[in-house]
Amino acid sequence: MALLEIKKYPDKILKKKTAPVENIDAQTQQLIDDMIETMKCAHGVGLAANQIGISQQLCVIDISVKEEEVPLIVLINPVIVEKTGMMEAEEGCLSVPGYMTTIKRPEKVFIRGLNREGKEMEIEAGGLLARALQHEIDHLEGLLLIDRMSPIRREFFKRRYKKFLQEMNKEGIEK
């Protein structure tokens, strides 16, 4: 297994809609294993393929850190079939490090896709799992959590994040 580089905002691949996975082969299985390792090492609860530079409809989700009874999920070519309710909660993103914001999302979702063996699967989820699923599927659609903000909050974020990146670059150069 290998640790992969997580693409950071404003990398252009994060804004592009991904292509369906056509063939689940040994290369896909290796990618899945590498994504799981990368997500865990980054202390994330989800990772979409485009976050590591691969424009395919593939994501991994593991919320077991917070909800032990939920197993790791590998989801290929996911589709949200149904959404109900609304809730607000704080979210972060591995592609937008150091930033958390409150996002309003449907409370429950029903999703269809394929597992890593290519078998159809359905997931009905609420709470953190529903939020994580929607967040990763957003990535596959070319959406970031900042795209879910109001225009005013988004502009404020962009200014703050630009400053944050400049400070990080300064610290990197000085060290």
147 close to 101: Cβ distance less than 8 angstroms:
no
| Active-site hit among 68, 91, 120, 136 | 136
**How far is it, in rounded angstroms, from Cα 20 to Cα 4?**
21
Query: In this structure, are residues 58 and 31 in contact, taking their beta carbons and an 8 Å threshold?
Result: yes
Assess whether 141 carries a catalytic annotation.
no
> CA-CA distances (angstroms) from residue 120 to 74, 85, 117, 129?
12, 26, 9, 19
Distance of alpha carbon 90 from alpha carbon 86, whole angstroms: 14
CA–CA gap between residue 138 and residue 6 (Å, rounded): 16
Give the residue numbers annotated as catalytic, written as ranges: 136
